[in-house]
Amino acid sequence: MPALKANSGVKGIIRSTEIDTRMLGMIGALVVIWVLFHFLSGGIFLSPRNLWNLTVQTSSIAVMATGMVLVIVTRNIDLSVGSLLGFTGMAMAALQTDVLPQYLGLDNPFTWVVALILGIALGVVIGGLQGYVIAFLGVPSFIVTLGGLLVWRGGAWWLTSGRTVAPLDDTFRLMGGGAEGSLGTTWTWIIALVACVLVAASMVMARKRRTKFGFPLRPVWAELAIAVFAFVVLAGAAAVFNAYEWPSMIAARYAKAHGMTVPEGGLHIGYGVAIPVLMAIVTGIVMTFVSRRTRFGRYVFAIGGNPEAAELAGINTRWVLMKVFMLMGGLAAIAGAIATARLNAATNALGTLDELYTIAAAVIGGTSLAGGAGTIAGALIGALVMQSLQSGMVLLGVDSPLQSIVVGIVLVIAVWIDSVYRRRAA
């Protein structure tokens, strides 16, 4: 079975490992940002506490960014996702506090389930409505979703006449993280171990598929290097999550409620991976499978690469486009659940400017505004880059207007880099 041609030097190593140079550049930029903010913040940025909070804050944007990849791949845009997050979040909060208790009773264990399902269904319906207008009525997505930005932001206020809705169902709140909304040290290590096994299994299966179809194989050293890097990242992330411990007062209350004796040095309970972070990771895995391994995903990229050719090939481009926006609506609703659960309240400002961060995450992650190219993994890293910038500037005491300026500049630079990359690749 042929192996990839061995090459010397840095370019040769990258070619042998088949690493996406744009992805490598994003990871390098993320490392530089982290090291710089860690130095400027006096060693606070890379502390377990800040990294744990950073991942939780990234979760809602990361979930929406996975859907925005498919939207942009089809040469469209969705400016309404921030408002849709706020609208569906407000709807789910109102269902839990005002509507469902009348029918299910107070403290019903299924209240949060019904609210979540109805909220996601509402997001899918709204996304489908916008997708229908775009795909079947021919109105540009920029105009439709710009209108949606205004309509759903006003709708969130209209639902509750502008009041903040709180508190939320206790189980629903687990999706926002916090002490109870984390899996703890044991389960975090178990998940890390399972992830390592899955990475190894996927690499073995990929190598077998290449052998079966006669494709060139990566050198064994390259396979081992990638596997070791993945294992180190997974183990390191688990160690960081577990190093952040519950505050002593919360740990003491937990011990008292469970009849535990608090040791003399205090009770040390690690947070572990937060539930919203796990939700974002699972969403990324599912969306990667959808985009790469399903007919729908192939159709999406075909439409983005050449809409006319896709139409001539028999693809129902209008229906596929409508489904893309339905998917985007559902993901915005999931992000709305995470955001409202994290605050334990739904406010009218929820999701404001999140459309900017979501689009920026997808573009920074390598999704081309010209359509036809983009990766889910890149969007997740892009979301982490955007949130890292915001978190770092908050730690440094940078004013909000200047934060917006920096984010805007970063977005423009990302689009410029994309255009340069496409010209060189042409």
Output the 3-class SS for 49-103.
HHHHHHHHHHHHHHHHHHHHHHHHHCCCCCCCHHHHHHHHHHHHHHHHHHHHHHH
Share of residues in the chain with pLDDT > 90 (%):
55
pLDDT at 6 (0 to 100): 47
Picking from 232, 209, 235, 207, the residue whose alpha carbon sits closest to that of residue 222 is 207
Question: By CB neighbour count within 10 A (0-12 exposed, 13-18 middle, 19+ buried), where does 156 fall?
Answer: buried
* Whether pLDDT at 224 is above 90: no
Would you state the structure tokens that stand for residue 40, as one six-digit string? 């400027």
Which one-letter DSSP state was computed for residue 371? S
Supply φ then ψ for residue 375, to 5 degrees.
-130, 145
Could you tell me the residue ranges of all domains in the chain?
A: 9-181+274-425, 182-271
Would you state the structure tokens that stand for residue 88, as one six-digit string? 């569906």
Which one-letter DSSP state was computed for residue 165? B
Picking from 97, 112, 94, 202, the residue whose alpha carbon sits closest to that of residue 155 is 94
CATH 1.20.1630 for domain 9-181+274-425: no
Q: Considering only residues 3 and 345, tell me which one the structure prediction assigns the higher pLDDT.
A: 345
Give the Cα separation of 274 and 282 in Å (integer): 12
Picking from 414, 368, 369, 366, the residue whose alpha carbon sits closest to that of residue 389 is 414
DSSP string across 268-315: --B--SBHHHHHHHHHHHHHHHHHHHSHHHHHHHHHHH-HHHHHHTT-
Instruction: Encode pLDDT of 56-97 as tens digits.
Output: 999 999 999 999 999 999 999 999 999 999 999 999 999 999
Instruction: Encode pLDDT of 322-374 as tens digits.
Output: 999 999 999 999 999 999 999 999 999 999 889 989 998 998 888 888 777 88
On average, the pLDDT of the chain sits at: 88
